[in-house]
Amino acid sequence: MVSSSDSERLPSEARILRWWIVVCVLVGLGLCFSQILEIPARSALRGYDNTFNYLWLRSAMVDGDWDFRNDLEACDTLPPAYRASALSLPVSATGRIPNKYGIGWSVVTLPFYLVADLLTSAAGSLNLTSYENDGFTPVYQICIQLGHVALAFLALWIAVETISTWIGNKEAAAAGVVTVWAASPLIYYQTVNVSMSHGAAFFAVTLMAYSLTRGRTADTGWKWWAVAGVAFGLAITVRYQLVVFIMPALWQIWRSKLEATPRLRAVGAFLMGAVPLAALQLFAWRRVYGDWFVFSYGVEGESFDWIKPEVFNSLLSSWHGLFYWHPFLLVGVGGMLSWAWRSSIEAKVWALVFCLVVYVNSAWWCWWFASSFGNRGYDAALLPVMAGAGWLLQRARGGGRMLFWTAAMTLGLWNFYVVLLYRTGAISRNEPVAWWDMIEAAGRLGEATKF
């Protein structure tokens, strides 16, 4: 399906899209390799969240016990004070140091770890290096970094394919994906800080959405339902809050025109994909905490305030507010709401999921998400925002299309600049930062870039 406004597309618009994609790819690769160049001076897996995400995998592969004490003692991913704090956490009923994070990030990372393990063993057998198979050496860090960046490219391609199905225009879908990506937190969490959960979260939900669009065929659709189930199981074990993304799957089950048996087969296939990953998380909790089901964040005193969510602050505060740090996302969300209003129930379901994510993020005690480039908690919810941006561009006419591209590239370049400030530490990572502070920080970049 092609919109009537496509005939009014500016002659140079295709070139603008290609040029902007090239710019985004170069910026993304530059950010990725800036992280790699720090190795081995600083671990690419450094950080509290990053470390505990990774310890599920490292402990399983090196020790096979999910007792994280020796992993923490050996790691180079935490400053001494943070490591001491982690080691002093109250132990669980099984005598283990708790790990509140989901196991999904480690599941996604396993193939890259195995490649690093193989390279390390091969190099050692040839006497090329003295590295051990300990999970912390530069070989592991580089393989994981490159693997997750490749996964980011795959996720963005899947997003284009999915959104083109939703809105009926592949070029508009590509424009929606690239403009929102460039102007959002994803640019940082899919290129630099890949050992946090957010890039994997976006991949999992995008794969689920893609699979659901392919699961509408009666004869082979059930296979895609199985993939959708795997993706959903991965999503909820990467970040537990992503359970709200079950709604598009439930809607597709409800609206299905299939006969009873194929419908049941599709549901069974979805469960067949999702249950093993959910069961793995339950087993992990059992080993670490002694119970099959645990609100692991609550164990460490963290909670939600469902009565008084900080919606305004989550979206508009200088303390990592989504629209404050990433103004172009207002355009995407506006397009998403228009898409939902004028289009199918599917669009409305995805817009509703975005609203649920706003509510959950706002209810979290740490609604600013601590050290965060913008509001990282909106990772997977950016998929329908991308669809909204593409839908809006598809229906814009003449000057409206040029206005869209002017806003997208101007605010995208602004986001590149803010990424550089955040990446180098020229602005605070865990405090409110006003626009004026961001502008003023340009004077500190010369020194900050020596980080």
Residue 133 domain-assigned? no
Q: Which of 349, 331, 346, 325 is nearest to 389 (CA)?
A: 331
How many domains does the chain contain in total? 1
Residue 67 domain-assigned? no
pTM: 0.94
The pLDDT, as a whole number, for residue 256 is 66
Residue 121 domain-assigned? no
Per-residue model confidence as pLDDT tens digits over 217-260: 656 667 899 999 999 999 999 999 999 999 999 988 877 655 55
Per-residue model confidence as pLDDT tens digits over 314-347: 999 999 999 999 999 999 999 999 999 998 889 9
Q: Which residues pair with 364 in a beta bridge?
A: 304
Q: What is the b/e burial string over 273-292, where b = at least 16 CB atoms within 10 angstroms of the residue's CB?
A: bbeebbebbbebbeebbeee
Residue 238 domain-assigned? yes
Confidence of residue 149 (pLDDT cuts 50, 70, 90): very high
Confidence of residue 366 (pLDDT cuts 50, 70, 90): very high
Structure token digits, residue 238: 């990467």
Asked whether 378 and 336 are in contact (CB, 8 A), the reply is no
The CA distance from 41 to 35, in Å, is 11
The pLDDT, as a whole number, for residue 448 is 60
The mean pLDDT of 81-92, rounded to a whole number, is: 90
Residue 66 domain-assigned? no
Structure token digits, residue 130: 């003295």
Say which range, 82-86, 109-113, 154-158, has the weakest mean pLDDT.
82-86
Residue 76 domain-assigned? no
Can you give the chain as a three-state secondary structure string?
Answer: CCCHHHHHCCCCHHHHHHHHHHHHHHHHHHHHHHHHHCCCCCCCCCCHHHHHHHHHHHHHHHCCCCCCHHHHHHCCCCCHHHHHHHHCCCCCCCCCCCCCCCCHHHHHHHHHHHHHHHHHHHHHHCCCCCCCCCCCCHHHHHHHHHHHHHHHHHHHHHHHHHHHHHHCCHHHHHHHHHHHHHCCCHHHHCCCCCCCCHHHHHHHHHHHHHHHHHCCCCCCHHHHHHHHHHHHHHHHHHCHHHHHHHHHHHHHHHHCCCCHHHHHHHHHHHHHHHHHHHHHHHHHHHHHHCCCCCCHHHHCCCCECCCCCCHHHHHHCCCCCHHHHCCHHHHHHHHHHHHHHHCCHHHHHHHHHHHHHHHHHHHECCCCCCCCCCCHHHCCCHHHHHHHHHHHHHHCCCHHHHHHHHHHHHHHHHHHHHHHHHHHCCCCCCCCCCHHHHHHHHHHHHHHCCC
How confident is the prediction for the chain on average, in pLDDT? 91
Residue 102 domain-assigned? no
Domain span including residue 437 = 4-39+142-448
Residue 86 domain-assigned? no
Instruction: With a cut of 50, say whether residue 190 has pLDDT above it.
Output: yes
Instruction: With a cut of 60, say whether residue 3 has pLDDT above it.
Output: no
Asked whether 152 and 184 are in contact (CB, 8 A), the reply is no
The pLDDT, as a whole number, for residue 257 is 58
